[in-house]
Structure 1
Amino acid sequence: MTKTIHPGKMVTVNQHQMHIFTAGDGDKTFVFMAGSGTAAPTIDFKPLWQILAKKYRIVVIEKAGYGWSEATTVSRDLATMLEESREALHLANIQAPFILVPHSMSGLEALYWGQKYPTEVQAIIGLDPAVPAAYEKLKIPSKTNLKISKTLINLGVHRPFMKLVAKNVWKKRGTSLSSEDFQRYVDCYKESLFSSDVINEVLTVRENVAICQKGEVPKDIPVYYFISDGKEIGLKEDWRPTLIAYLAQFETSKYLLLDCGHYVHGERPEEIAEEIESFITEIS
């Protein structure tokens, strides 16, 4: 393992270590949940959490195989991932209720959390989050293609180019980092790209969609979705209508359409933070 020293706390869950990062203080706890394949969630979310941490307590959960958390071969079904997240928070002495802040595929886990443990979820702040209906049109990489990518990663073919790739990825998200943050990001990118858990989560997504669809929409939980233009997801025409239609099922819901890429928290952190603060004030 060549990653730099983790900035948060390591806890042992399900026989593997998970990294939990915390910052700030306040009477509201925001729990950030990374989208599929996000190499360094703690760094990736920083443009937004560093603003919110001035007033609230923020937490970043790094799932198995993400960031500084260990890779495993444990199932990536929703039930397993949710219980690992809850146990990690418990071991880190972080108590419910939470305001969940999922990005992309973690939108499913946040909805499932609301279904299973509604008293633990004060609100859901979706950062271009996935909803079950989106996967009716989203293309999922085949197992063969993922295995080929994993093999190339294991051979280290990617390593000479990682710094350049990571730099371009971050630049595309519209975010500047400190030199220390950038080095941490690159190191995690080298280790976490196509981890076994990232691959298995993608391969399990159809099953997870079905699990989420079996439960009722947690309509009593206030929800605010920040929605991109859909281009990076490959659903330019369908992405926004799909998320807006899903939101219509909630008692209290808002959305903001942003003309930016999928990593909305990197491109529009100030605007999103301001909207979040207003929304939390409204629902409180």
Structure 2
Amino acid sequence: MRKPWRIALTTVGVIVAIPVLLLTTTTVVNVVATAVEKDSIESYGQLVPVDGKQMNVVVSGAGDETIVLLPGLGTAAPGLDFRPLIDELDDTYRVVAVEPFGTGLSDATDTPRTAQNITREVHEALQQLDVDRYALMGHSIAGIYALTYAAAYPDELTAFVGIDSSVPDQPGMDDPVQTSTLVALRNLGITRILTAIAGDPFAGLPYDEHVKEQMALLTTKNATASTLIDEMDRIPANFAAASGMTFPPNLPVLLFVVSDGAEVPGWMALHEEQAASVDFGQVIPMAGEHYLHHTLSKEIAQDTAIFLSSR
């Protein structure tokens, strides 16, 4: 009577041991691969001192006017991600793409990722470059940070240009992100496996193979690191702090908005309301994905030039 129980227990033990062994293997492989990949990441842009750390910026062009680019949440390598847009803008403008802490080649930081801290750090980086008069162009959540920025440094901004930028009081932003799950998947190496299965996320986009490789490496390095996780955890608080905020009335505001914003109820109306809150505001609907600058950089650059020249 004891032998069947022994067989059953052995079978259960094997069933339990197999996934444990697999997860142990993927965890070890992930740690080793991550260490190896760091050596393959190449430098670009330039580092400037901010808060005792190093922040990476990409400066291109030599125009009389300056445009500062700020990324959306989770953009792992902003200086590379913005390259199609930089290439369209830098014939006319000096373009400064800032990689906030925790993105691109910038250092990580333990400083809380509040809108106030992020904007203060970006401003310090620009001060290091002697950039004191500029249009701010931001993607996604940079639209929320830009409101804090405009309130803190109104005399420096010449305009705000939003690329499907976030707006105050948009629905759904009070829900916390399950970041603990993301971290667990990363630590167990599951994220690496899922990424490999998903294939090339940059397929069909205007990046050469080398840039795509570097973006993939930086995505692995930064996407679920502690700095970004903290910023994700603070999404509800940062949106709550921006509730009801508007740009200064005399600040020109141009908003490129995905015309099919069905994922966010009232998406277009929210942007039209924001543009109407300033003396010189404009909304340009665009048929595309959230990262509009991946596929519509030429159109964004052309309409930006028209807007900035007519303000």
Letter in 1 for 2:267: W
Q: Deviations over 1:43-74 (max 9, x none)?
A: 11111111101111101111111111122221
Residue 109 of structure 1: CA displacement? 1.2
Q: Deviations over 1:117-167 (max 9, x none)?
A: 111110011000011121xx1256635x21111122133332345466472
Aligned match of 2:106? 69
Aligned match of 2:278? 250
Task: Give percent identity, aligned residues only.
Answer: 27
Contact 2:258 2:290 in 1 (8 A): yes
The answer to whether the aligner puts 1:98 opposite 2:128 as a matched pair is: no
- Aligned CA-pair RMSD: 2.0
Aligned match of 1:190? 220
Letter in 1 for 2:302: E
Aligned to 2:200, the other structure's residue is in SS state helix
2:87 aligned to 46, 50, 59, which one?
A: 50
Q: Which moved more, 1:19-28 or 1:210-219?
A: 210-219
Aligned match of 2:6? none
1:126 aligned to 158, 162, 165, which one?
A: 162
Q: Which moved more, 1:206-215 or 1:39-48?
A: 206-215
Aligned match of 1:60? 97
| Pair 142,87 (structure 1): closer, same or farther in 2 beyond 3 Å | same
Q: Which moved more, 1:157-166 or 1:20-29?
A: 157-166
Report 1 or 2 for greater relative contact order, CA contacts < 8 Å, sequence distance ≥ 6.
1
Aligned match of 2:25? none
Aligned to 1:54, the other structure's residue is in SS state coil
The answer to whether the aligner puts 1:11 opposite 2:48 as a matched pair is: yes
The answer to whether the aligner puts 1:220 opposite 2:250 as a matched pair is: yes
TM-score by length of 1: 0.89
- Trace 1:227-246 onto structure 2 (pairs within 5 A): 227-231=257-261, 234-235=263-264, 237-246=265-274
Contact 2:176 2:235 in 1 (8 A): no
Corresponding pairs, count:
274
TM-score by length of 2: 0.82
Distance 2:246 2:275 in 1: 13
Letter in 1 for 2:57: I
Distance 1:194 1:261 in 2: 23
The answer to whether the aligner puts 1:108 opposite 2:144 as a matched pair is: yes
Contact 2:169 2:243 in 1 (8 A): no
The answer to whether the aligner puts 1:117 opposite 2:150 as a matched pair is: no
Q: Which moved more, 1:8-17 or 1:250-259?
A: 8-17
The answer to whether the aligner puts 1:266 opposite 2:294 as a matched pair is: yes
Aligned to 1:158, the other structure's residue is in SS state helix
Ranges in structure 1 where 5+ consecutive residues have no aligned partner: none
Q: Which moved more, 1:214-223 or 1:121-130?
A: 214-223
Contact 1:162 1:190 in 2 (8 A): no
| Pair 119,102 (structure 1): closer, same or farther in 2 beyond 3 Å | same
Aligned to 2:75, the other structure's residue is in SS state coil
Distance 1:164 1:218 in 2: 46
Aligned match of 2:22? none
Contact 2:143 2:165 in 1 (8 A): yes
Aligned to 1:167, the other structure's residue is in SS state coil
Aligned match of 1:41? 78
Aligned to 1:71, the other structure's residue is in SS state coil
Letter in 2 for 1:201: E
Q: Deviations over 1:233-258 (max 9, x none)?
A: 821x4211111112110100111101
Aligned to 2:189, the other structure's residue is in SS state coil
Contact 1:115 1:215 in 2 (8 A): no
Aligned to 1:194, the other structure's residue is in SS state coil
Distance 2:80 2:274 in 1: 29
Aligned match of 2:309? 281
Distance 1:16 1:140 in 2: 31
| Pair 153,180 (structure 1): closer, same or farther in 2 beyond 3 Å | same
Aligned to 2:147, the other structure's residue is in SS state helix
| Pair 163,32 (structure 1): closer, same or farther in 2 beyond 3 Å | farther
| Pair 246,209 (structure 1): closer, same or farther in 2 beyond 3 Å | same
Q: Deviations over 1:216-271 (max 9, x none)?
A: 5312100100001355x821x42111111121101001111011110111121111
